[in-house]
Structure formats: structure tokens, C-alpha cells
Structure 1
Amino acid sequence: MMSTVITELIGLHRRELMRDRRYFWFALLFPFGMMAIFLALSAFIPKTAGAPDFAQLVTPMALFLAVTSMALTVTSGSLAGMRSKGTLRLLGTTPVGRGRLVLTHMAVRILMCAAQAVALLAVAVVAAGLDPARIPALLGVTLLGMTMFGALGYLIGGRVSSPDAASNICTLIQLFTLFLSGLAFPFALMPEAVVRVLALLPTTFFADLLLSQMPGGTPYHPVWLAIVVVTATALLVGAAAVKLFKWDQREGR
């Protein structure tokens, strides 16, 4: 009986995820579009000494976008929408329970992100020369990043009342962290004083983990430190998300 309930909840969240086509298709296709752009840049921009190698940024950037799209944009807006409609409050009073509701909501996002990451890595092997031996480590890093950004998505979605506002906030965070993590805009092109500040952001540590798997990647931090920081950030933000989560629109007023 319990397994049937969980299966039904996963199916419910999957249909809900795909129903909002604005955010679902953006989250699904945006990483592939950006990958294509960076592959084109790599092919047409002449390689010069000291210049960034865009071929080394294609795979990390695409995975970064996949993680942030699924963990932020299509997570926070969904939660805010369910709360604004009273769905969270209603289901929380049924035998389904709040815990299973959130865990199955999270499971769908993780499965979708994992499937998307596998597809992106397959494209990277064919078009970007990615070594297939790097795939297991990159999948592990992707799932670790999903925990950190997912916690942030639940923190925002658990507090913001409007689904559009929650999704828009997360989209801004996604683009901000992408361009300031050393991926879309390499640190080699920035002033050293700016780099020292940006290097302190937890999102930069996640980007470092992705870059560490590239043959010519130049992560700013050692791998062990990046793992510690990303894991600690996920735990701290996750604890805040649980503490501040609103099940009803009227909570906290």
C-alpha cells in the first residue's frame, strides 16, 4: 500500500513538472542550447596562448545549467504554486503526510536532472571530446550540486508566495552564479581582486568540482575543499529550508 502511494505521488509530481511548459522546456533545453553556443565558439575562435579554451568549459557549463535549472527554477515555482492553491495544506492533512509529499517532489527533480546529465554527457563525448572515463565522477559531482542548489530551491519556494516571483528569483540566481563562478566568464579574464571575492562563493566551489574533471581545467580550489564546502552549504541551506518552510500561505503573517 505504501509503495502504491509513493508511486502515485511520483506520477503526480512528474505530471505537474511537465504541465508548466514555460519552465519545464526552458529547464530541459537551455543547457543543450548553451552547449551548442560554446561548441561553436570553440570551433570558430582562434586558439591563442593564454586565452580561455572554450572546449574545456562546454561540459561543466552545461551540467551547471542543468543542475540549477532543475534544482531552482522548476522546484521553487512549483512549491510556491502548490502552496498558493492550498495543495500543500490539503495534502498535509491526509495520510500522504508532508514528509512523503516533499521527498517524492524532490525525487522527481533528481531523476530528471540525472537523466538530463546523462544526455548532456553523451553529447559531450561525441561533440566535445569528453573522456568517457570522466562520466562517473561528473555524475557524482552533478548530484552533489543538486543537493546544494536543491536546498536553495526549497528555501526560496518554501517562503515566496508567488510561483512566478519564485521562478524569476531563481532564474536570476542561476544566471548570476553561472557568470560569476568562472565557467561562462573565466576567472582568467577578471581582475585578481574580483576573483578573490568570487572564489569565496559556494557556487564557485561547485564549479571547481566540475572543472577538476576536465583535462585542461583550472579549478581555483582543491577538490577536497570544494567537496567540503558544497556539502556543508547543502546541509546549512537545507536546515534553513526545513526551518522556514511554509505549508500554508497564511503562515508567518
Structure 2
Amino acid sequence: MSAYTALTAAGFRAQVRDKTTVFFTFAFPLIFLVVFGLVFRGRDVEESGFSYLSYTAAGVLSWGVANAAVFGIGFTLMQWRSDDILRMIRMSPAPLSAVIGSRYVLALGVGLVQSVLFVGVAMMPGFGLVPDSRWPLLVPVLVLGITTFLLLGVIIGSVADTPESVAGIANFLMLPMAFLSGSFFPLDAMPEWLQKLSMVLPLRYLNDAVSAALVGRGDLGDIGTGCAGLVVFAVLFGAVAARVFRWTKTS
């Protein structure tokens, strides 16, 4: 068995055994969907003609997938470094690519299951989300999004040394980003300067691309722009992650 396969299998077993984490990973975005869906059911956003669900469903899905990627790898790297697991991996023939690659595959799997559950619930009577005909483009968009936010999680997991610091840094970044990127309410309702500020946030690009692919709020150009923005942030986060990654608490 290769190092990559062994690490992936071990990571999967660890995730499945942690019932609480599994529950909140998949249930948390659904809770937001249910709350927003019931509160704004049947209401349209002025002038756009799109329902609130068309805005919030795509935004909450983007936030949920990104959040899972950031927290998943962040906590794992911190814990493995604290328990000297990374040091032992470093002394083995396993390359760093196997460590990150195994978590990447798990993050993609989690994101896929999250998306299927989320869209399935959103299409139920009472919510009535109707996916646009270009919804298959959602797959590459989510892959790019997961890649980008996984690398952000690597940065957080490399600089944080305790579970509290991982949670603090991740929440400090992800919660304001969710509000400023339009995950929970339409960007059109924000002041123009905040809309411009959101262009420097990676979640904005994921939201826009998911919205255009899933519900048709935008065109292929919006999907392309969103994907290009995610690629830029992935390269940036990857470069930073390579510089700050630590095998042990001291190096």
C-alpha cells in the first residue's frame, strides 16, 4: 500500500469515527438553507427577478464547502504536528504531496456529498430550487473552490498550534468573508464600496461562479471570471502555504 493510499484511508476512518464532526459538516449548511428558505420563501429580490433562495442557496453551498475544506485540513495539520505524526511522516519515505494529496481527496469527497445533499434538499417542495441547465459546470467550479480553500486551511493549520487558535483564525477569516462575499444575502443590497471590497475575497468568486452554474444568475463569463479568480487565489495561497508549512512546532 502506498503512503498516499494509507494516509487517505486513515483520514477517512478518522472522519467517519468522529460522528459529531460528520453531523455538523453536512448539517450546518442545511440548517442555514432551511432558515433562509422558510424566512424568505416566495420573495424575490427587487429588480433582479430572482428569488432570495437563488441567492442564498448558491452562497450557503459555497460557504459550506469552503468552510469544510478550511477547517478539515487546518485542524488535521495542527493536530498531527502537535502529536508528532508529521515528524514521523517526514522521517518516512512519504512525500509532503502524499500528506496534502490525501486530505485533498477527502475534501473533494466531502464537498461532493455536501453538494448533492444540499441541492437535493433545496429542490424539495417548499424550497423549489430549479437548477439551471448549465448545472454540470458546478463540478469544476467546486473542485477549484475546494482547492483554493484547502490551501488557505494549510496556511492556518501551519501557523496555529492549538485547536482554539485554528478555530479563532478560521472563523475570523471565514465568517466576515461569508457576509462580505454575498453568501447569506445579495451583494446588490450592499453599499457600492463593499461590493468593490468583496472583489479581493476568494469566496466572492466561488459564490459568483456557483450562482451562475447552479441557478443561472449570471452567464458563462461569470463562471469563467469566478474560476480565474479562484485560480489566482489558489496560486497565491499555495505559495504562502509552501513557505509557512511546518513539520514540527519548531520547524
TM bin (shorter chain): 0.7 to 0.9
Write the letter of the residue equivalent to 1:60: A
Q: Are 2:165 and 1:203 equivalent residues in the alignment? A: no
Where does 1:1-253 land on structure 2 (aligned, <5 Å)? 1-2=1-2, 5-21=3-19, 23-43=21-41, 46-47=43-44, 49-50=46-47, 53-126=51-124, 127-131=127-131, 133-215=133-215, 217=217, 222-251=222-251
Q: Please say if residues 79 and 163 of structure 1, whose CA atoms lie closer than 8 Å, have aligned partners that are also in contact.
A: no
Q: Deviations over 1:167-211 (max 9, x none)?
A: 332133222111111231322222222222223323212211122
With normalisation by structure 2, the TM-score equals: 0.87
* One-letter amino acid of the structure 2 residue matched with residue 128 of structure 1: G
Structure 1: unaligned runs, 5 residues or longer? none
Taking a change above 3 Å as real, the CA distance of residues 128 and 242 of structure 1, as seen in their structure-2 partners, is: farther
Matched-pair identity in %: 23
Q: Is the 8 A contact 2:145 2:230 kept in 1?
A: yes
8 Å contact from structure 2 (residues 44, 52) kept in 1: no
Q: Is the 8 A contact 2:69 2:153 kept in 1?
A: yes
Distance in 2 of aligned mates of 1:190 and 1:137: 28
Deviations 1:125-172 (CA, angstroms, capped at 9, x unpaired):
334322273431122211111111111011111221113311332133
Secondary structure of 1:158's aligned partner: helix
TM-score, with normalisation over the residues of structure 1? 0.86
Q: Distance in 2 between matches of 1:180 and 1:217?
A: 18
In structure 2, relative to structure 1, the CA distance for the partners of 1:134 and 1:58 (3 Å cut) is farther
- Tell me: CA distance 1:122–1:200, structure 2 relative to 1, closer, same or farther (3 Å): same
- In the aligned structure 2, how far is the partner of 1:58 from the partner of 1:134? 18
> How large is the Cα RMSD of the aligned pairs?
2.5
Partners of 1:167 and 1:15 in 2: CA distance: 22
Of the structure 1 ranges 70-79 and 182-191, higher mean CA displacement relative to structure 2 is found in 182-191
- 2:138–2:214 Cα contact (<8 Å) kept: no
Q: In 2, are the aligned partners of 1:17 and 1:74 still within 8 Å (CA)?
A: no
Residues 215 and 15 (structure 1), Cα distance of their counterparts in 2 relative to 1, 3 Å cut: closer
Q: Which runs of 5+ in 2 are unaligned?
A: none
